[in-house]
């Protein structure tokens, strides 16, 4: 049973530009235009998107008819949503450091990075059981934990990859394991 998974990161928002933890904000106009210029994507058996406005707008700009999948939602940053990392570092440096060094904690009252990884890994396993090609429009944090899951890397590896807006990453599954897929 073979599954191909194409991840697409949502386009840029004002929160990206200001280094804020995201809210449910729209794409920047430039991001909509950039998404519209992306080359045609291959046929997919299933196209799904995070429920977030920025992901849904990315799917629309890519001219994809996507179904909303709540499992693809961004990490819940709790009370930090909409705030800058600099402000949090100034106001609660111990909490920020704990969040960045202890993947099982969520001092913001939202979702820990370990919980995010378990959610995404569970979703990927469900896709693998269905086979076919899936296009998933989601968020940088979701894609970062997916990469760590595929590489069977420690949770701290979350901080070692960057996923830019509109990045495309491909993975394959044989039914027993996932692998990254690089192509031109």
Q: Look at residue 150 in the predicted model and tell me its pLDDT.
A: 96
Q: What is the pTM of this model?
A: 0.94
Q: Look at residue 184 in the predicted model and tell me its pLDDT.
A: 63
Q: Look at residue 16 in the predicted model and tell me its pLDDT.
A: 87
Q: Look at residue 159 in the predicted model and tell me its pLDDT.
A: 93
CATH classification at residue 120:
3.40.50.1240
> How are strands ordered across the β-sheet holding 178-181?
67-68, 46-49, 132-138, 3-9, 168-173, 178-181
Task: Mention every residue, 6+ apart, whose C-beta is less than 8 A from residue 168.
Answer: 6, 7, 8, 9, 38
User: Which residues, in sequence order, are bridge partners of residue 170?
Assistant: 6, 181
The low-confidence residues of the chain, meaning pLDDT below 70, are: 184
User: Cα separation of 48 and 104, whole Å?
Assistant: 28
- Residue bearing tokens 């296009």: 135
User: Cα separation of 132 and 2, whole Å?
Assistant: 7
Domain interval for residue 24: 3-181
User: Cα separation of 33 and 21, whole Å?
Assistant: 23
Q: HSE (CB half, 13 Å, CA atoms) of 58?
A: 29
User: Cα separation of 112 and 48, whole Å?
Assistant: 23
Task: Mention every residue, 6+ apart, whose C-beta is less than 8 A from residue 146.
Answer: 7, 120, 121, 124, 169, 171
User: Cα separation of 48 and 113, whole Å?
Assistant: 22
- Residue bearing tokens 């993975």: 171
How many folded domains does the chain comprise?
1
């Amino acid at each position: 049973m073979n599954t191909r998974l194409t991840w697409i990161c949502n386009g840029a928002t004002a929160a990206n530009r200001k280094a804020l933890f995201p809210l449910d904000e729209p794409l920047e106009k430039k991001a909509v235009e950039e998404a519209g210029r992306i080359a045609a994507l291959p046929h997919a058996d299933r196209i799904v998107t995070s429920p977030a406005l920025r992901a849904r707008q990315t799917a629309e700009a890519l001219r994809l008819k996507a179904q909303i999948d709540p499992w693809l939602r961004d990490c819940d940053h709790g009370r930090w949503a909409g705030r800058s990392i600099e402000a949090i570092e100034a106001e609660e440096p111990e909490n920020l450091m704990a969040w960045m060094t202890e993947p099982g904690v969520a001092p913001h009252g939202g979702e820990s990075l370990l919980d995010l990884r378990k959610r995404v890994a569970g979703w990927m396993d469900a896709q693998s059981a269905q086979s076919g090609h899936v296009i998933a429009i989601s968020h940088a944090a979701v894609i970062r934990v997916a990469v760590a899951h595929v590489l069977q890397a420690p949770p701290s590896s979350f901080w070692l990859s960057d996923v830019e807006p509109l990045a495309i990453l491909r993975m394959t599954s044989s039914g027993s394991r996932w692998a990254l897929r690089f192509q031109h």
